[in-house]
Structure 1
Amino acid sequence: MEMLKSISENLRTVKEKSPLVHHLTNYVTVNDCANMVLAVGGSPVMADDIGEVAEMASLASALVINMGTLNKRTIASMILAGQTAREHGIPVIFDPVGIGATTLRTDTAVKIIRETQPAVIRGNMSEIKCLSGLNVQIKGVDSTADEAGGERIAQNLAQKQGCVIAITGATDIISDGSRTCLITNGDKMLSRVTGTGCMTTSLIGTYCGATKDLFLGAASGIMTMGLAGEIACHSLKEAEGIGTFRVRLFDAVFNLSPESLLRGGKISLA
């Protein structure tokens, strides 16, 4: 498939360009996000002080905003960095972690989207349904929503926001409003390690920093995490668990090649 070939070429481009990916992310997963960007071939920076975020954002190839651990200080930094990135034509990738769980999270997500106009929004089904104005129950930062109708939800929200919408779950859904694809790579072990969603957003940022087609950039990041999860899980021996899996996940991303993406990628147009 032509799309799979393009995704494999995106990995080659990432390794050649090593895009600088500026993060304003959460302190639970910040180290893993940085190492995941390094593993795939990018260059991470995690500056969040309001005194330098604008300057740093202007130098980056992509900006990742992740609201996993919110506070007033970083909210202001997120908005300033996002506005600066937008002014410089740098793609903003937004992860609305836990939107709907609290009033602060919901209001902040709406404000970030309004004031920074993200190029890509990645979330689980509960988060994307909440952004779409649908009634959904939230359990902390985890998804509890039914995945039925996800393709239409992603497409409609992409058209409304004028950006790429990526929903990660058992089947990943990516849409830019006109193109929609499904990715079925992955393993349930990914849901048992903290931060794999955040790391996926960082991978999307890395690819979007190296390609102009942000729809394929989002698909590339999601496929990379899914396929690496499969490889890491299959490598486990008896009595090895999530700790070993986490380490093997980084190894799998580091060792992933364009050829292995072509062989193992599972993608279809919706």
Structure 2
Amino acid sequence: MTNPADALIAMRHAAPLVQCITNYVAMNFAANALLAAGAAPAMVSDPEESGEFAAIAGALTVNIGTLGPRWVDGMVAAAGSAKANGKPWVLDPVACFATRLRREATATLMGLRPDVVRGNASEILAVAGLSSAGKGVDAGDSVAAAEAAARDLAARSGAVVAVTGAVDFVTDGARSVRIAGGSPLMPRVTATGCALTCLIGAYAAAVSDRFDATVAALAHFAAAGDMAAASPGPGSFMPAFLDALSAVPPEALGNGRVQPA
């Protein structure tokens, strides 16, 4: 397994260009999070160019938080192009259990074989074909309740699956780890999870092993959350967290943060 500290060094050295198809609420924060961490974001989503752009980006991330026919067309074009051109791509199936449109879009995108799937416990349970207690975009299930489903989904799909929450869980079906850290303020800032999905794309562009890349991205996020945790509230947490993403030293991704599961 690649040391997460080495993965952070590699990601910052590569400064990869990441195509981020994400929702309206998340765009600004996600772009700033990538810039702070050391990568370069490009919010290219329209089907007129998304496929062409995916061929030149280092990685693609797809977040289904905002959906409509053109959004879905852009996502499908980009994911198909990323796969055809050997570029890693990450799926964030936001509230995939909530509506028919979201269920159908998720099924279509899963058919394009993402390299990584990142979601909360309720989203991962739903993608795995199980019932969940999610409401809107919020998880109603614990990370622990989704671990078996994540392992099964990874084995069936070939994707690395990341279940994020108070303690994150990452598996490729054979290897599994838990990642501790972060701040209780993180779920109180919109687009935090969306930004994490984009950061996984940055690491996947720089680290060839998708499991190692995902683990390092989550460890980076957790370490930044630790550093910003002294903020008195969510308003001050957001800029402190961006500063922390930039300031996290490689060694902070270790120190027992990642544990076998």
Fold-level similarity (TM above 0.5): yes
**Residues 164 and 176, structure 1, Cα contact 8 Å, conserved in 2:** yes
Q: Which amino acid aligns with 2:65?
A: G
**Residues 151 and 180, structure 1, Cα contact 8 Å, conserved in 2:** no
- Cα offset for 1:262? 2.9
Pair 1:201 & 2:216 matched = no
Give the TM-score of the pair, scaled to structure 2. 0.97
Q: After alignment, is 254-263 or 205-214 more displaced? A: 254-263
Structure 1 residue matching 2:18: 3-state secondary structure: strand
Pair 1:246 & 2:238 matched = yes
Q: Which residue, 165, 168, 171 being the options, matches 1:169?
A: 165
Q: For residues 31 and 91 of structure 2, what CA distance do their matches in structure 1 show?
A: 16
Pair 1:257 & 2:249 matched = yes
- Cα offset for 1:146? 3.4
Q: For residues 54 and 157 of structure 1, what CA distance do their matches in structure 2 show?
A: 26
- Cα offset for 1:218? 0.7
Q: Which amino acid aligns with 2:24?
A: Y
Q: For residues 215 and 10 of structure 2, what CA distance do their matches in structure 1 show?
A: 15
Q: Which residue, 97, 116, 122 being the options, matches 1:120?
A: 116
Map of 1:155 onto structure 2: 151
- Cα offset for 1:101? 0.8
Deviations 1:97-151 (A, max 9, x none): 011111111111111111x210000000000001111111221101011333433
Per the alignment, do residues 244 and 37 of structure 1 end up closer, same or farther by CA in structure 2, a change over 3 Å counting?
same
Q: Which amino acid aligns with 1:251?
A: D
Q: For residues 166 and 253 of structure 2, what CA distance do their matches in structure 1 show?
A: 19
Q: Which amino acid aligns with 2:52?
A: E
Structure 1 residue matching 2:45: 3-state secondary structure: coil
Q: For residues 147 and 54 of structure 1, what CA distance do their matches in structure 2 show?
A: 34
Q: For residues 245 and 146 of structure 1, what CA distance do their matches in structure 2 show?
A: 24
Pair 1:266 & 2:257 matched = yes
Per the alignment, do residues 148 and 17 of structure 1 end up closer, same or farther by CA in structure 2, a change over 3 Å counting?
closer
Equivalent positions of 1:7-26 (< 5 A) are 7-26=4-23
Q: Which residue, 39, 54, 59 being the options, matches 2:56?
A: 59
Alpha carbon RMSD of aligned pairs, Å? 1.2
Structure 2 residue matching 1:187: 3-state secondary structure: coil
Q: For residues 18 and 34 of structure 1, what CA distance do their matches in structure 2 show?
A: 13
Percent identity between the two aligned chains: 38
- Cα offset for 1:54? 1.4
Q: Which residue, 129, 132, 145 being the options, matches 1:133?
A: 129
Task: Give unmatched runs, 5+ long, in structure 2.
Answer: none
How many residues get paired?
261
Q: For residues 85 and 135 of structure 1, what CA distance do their matches in structure 2 show?
A: 30
Structure 2 residue matching 1:93: 3-state secondary structure: strand
Map of 2:104 onto structure 1: 107
Q: For residues 149 and 180 of structure 2, what CA distance do their matches in structure 1 show?
A: 18
Q: For residues 70 and 223 of structure 2, what CA distance do their matches in structure 1 show?
A: 36
Structure 1 residue matching 2:173: 3-state secondary structure: coil
Q: For residues 59 and 79 of structure 1, what CA distance do their matches in structure 2 show?
A: 16
Q: Which residue, 44, 63, 67 being the options, matches 1:70?
A: 67
Q: For residues 128 and 21 of structure 1, what CA distance do their matches in structure 2 show?
A: 23
Give the TM-score of the pair, scaled to structure 1. 0.94
**Residues 97 and 123, structure 1, Cα contact 8 Å, conserved in 2:** yes
